[in-house]
Amino acid sequence: MYYTYMLRCKDNSLYTGITTDLQRRLKEHKEKGEKTAKYTLTHNAIKMEIAWKCENRVLASKLEFQLKKLTKKQKEELIKNSQLLNKFLANKIECDLYKKAE
Q: Model confidence over 10-22: pLDDT tens digits?
A: 999 999 999 999 9
Is residue 2 within 8 A of residue 20, CB to CB? The reply is yes
Edge-first strand listing for the sheet containing 45-54: 14-19, 2-9, 45-54, 99-100
Q: Model confidence over 44-79: pLDDT tens digits?
A: 999 999 999 999 999 999 999 999 999 999 999 999
Nearest to 12 by CA among 46, 42, 51, 39: 46
